[in-house]
Copies of this chain bind each other. A is one copy, B any other.
Amino acid sequence: MVAPLRVGIAGLGTVGAEVVRLIEQQGKVLTARCGRGVKVVSVTARSKTKKRGVDLRGIGWAKDPMAIATDPEVDCFVELMGGVGDPALSAIEAALSSGKSVVTANKALIAKHGLKLAALAEKHGGALNYEAAVAGAIPVVKTLREGLAGTGIDRVYGILNGTCNYILSRMEQEGLSFEECLKDAQRLGYAEANPSFDVDGHDTAQKLAILASLAFGTKVAQSAVYVEGITSIAAADLRAAAELGYRVKLLGVAVRTATGIEQRVHPTMVPLKSSIAQVMGVTNAVTIDGAGISPITLVGPGAGGAATASAVLADIADVARGVRALPFGRPVGKLTVTAKAPMERHEGGYYIRLMARDLAGTAARIATRLAEQKISLESIVQRHPDGMIDGNGAAKKSAPVPVILITYATSEDAMRRALQAVQSDKVISGRPQVIRIEKN
């Protein structure tokens, strides 16, 4: 019998406490599955006395994370403190430098310092596992790192932020405004007091940067991600989307294009019948398009103590079992640099919602401006003030009338130029709403 894996855990919040509890409760199964036991030998957290609903007797209390990271009696350092810098960063560096394996749920840290840490793991032979950092309990890191090892991947995209998906789902299902749903999300603990990191798309961008690296063998580069959040989405957009056979999701998309790897986060119209459109509430989903095979979609809980702890435990089990995958699936030295693919060169269909000042004149003008940019329209619908959609009817002259356009694939550049021209024509009121369409 191999000696048990000795685990030290820094951070005993909901996730940390649940990991301690699971290791205790699932001890026998873990031993059978890993061929050796898993034992928590040391923990630390800000408060030693806080009630956590978990039995810490028999487990050493370390004075700080670094004490665990450098403890020769610890084989695997589990970082669940969070934070993009110290103490998490230096503790992880110390652990990896001493040949320990590291398990973390810290996406911000992996997105920012992942390469440096992966190089340390490679050099000293430890594992650096971070399944919980992206899409919670969904085994997407493992799938990209190991499961599709030989398949050329063309595109990976998904719903990576439960807060945004919760807000968009409620907005659509109940016809509520963004602000109302955000408030509810905050009340329910799905959104932070300062929600910007989630709703402006940055959380999704961090996760996407990690997925893109795993999928395409590129260096993680959050700065290469184009980011748009969901704050401008109106209930009217969600209604129109449904009527046109789409649903709006905040997607992170990384795709191989002629100009390089395009990485973008933005509200996206996905076909109503697609797997990803069915993903409602705080659930996450990731779709992987491999060369020559139909897409694979993984759906599951993206956050929450139990889901995150489950992913952390799977990572710990891999360490116990002796699995040593390269942190980004390839040696750090072989990861390539991704230039930020210019968003102007993005090609795709667009949903555009305008408020036309004068319907007859406006429609003609818009058609002309789009034609100038060689943009073809899949559909154009005008919404009367009474809320009915009508492809032909006219509306009252006084009030601006919503016009919704769906374009065939065109370049972002052409679309922007056309809309700029429409705006200079002063035939619309306010700014046009633009949502990109992702076919699958």
Contact = CB atoms under 8 A, between A and B. Distances in A.
Interface of A: 22-23, 26, 29-30, 32-35, 131, 137-139, 142-143, 146-152, 217, 273-275, 278-279, 283, 290, 292-301, 304, 306-307, 310, 313-314, 316-318, 321-326, 329-331, 334
B275 A299 contact: yes
Contact of A298 (B290, B298, B318, B331): B298
Q: Which 7 A-B pairs have the closest CB atoms?
A: A150-B313, A149-B317, A296-B300, A139-B147, A294-B301, A32-B330, A297-B299
B326 A33 contact: yes
Contact of A29 (B143, B152, B297): B152
B283 A279 contact: no
Contact of A146 (B142, B298, B329): B142
A33 B329 contact: yes
B35 A326 contact: yes
A324 B33 CA distance: 11
B138 A296 contact: yes
B318 A149 contact: yes
Contact of A23 (B32, B138, B139, B150): B150
16 contacts: A32-B331, A32-B334, A33-B149, A137-B148, A139-B142, A142-B147, A143-B143, A146-B321, A148-B314, A149-B321, A150-B314, A151-B313, A293-B307, A296-B300, A298-B299, A322-B324
Contacts of A301: 293-294, 296
Given A32-B331, A330-B33, A149 B314 contact: yes
B294 A32 contact: no
A322 B324 CA distance: 8
A152 B21 CA distance: 13
Contacts of A151: 22, 26, 310, 313-314
Given A33-B150, A275-B279, A293-B307, 20 more contacts: A29-B150, A29-B217, A32-B217, A131-B147, A137-B293, A137-B294, A147-B314, A148-B310, A149-B314, A150-B316, A151-B310, A274-B278, A275-B299, A293-B300, A293-B306, A295-B300, A297-B297, A297-B298, A298-B298, A323-B325
Contact of A283 (B139, B146, B294, B314): B294
Contacts of A298: 296-299
Contacts of A283: 294
B318 A306 contact: no
Given A32-B330, A310-B293, A139 B150 contact: no
Contacts of A316: 150
A34 B148 CA distance: 12
A150 B38 CA distance: 11
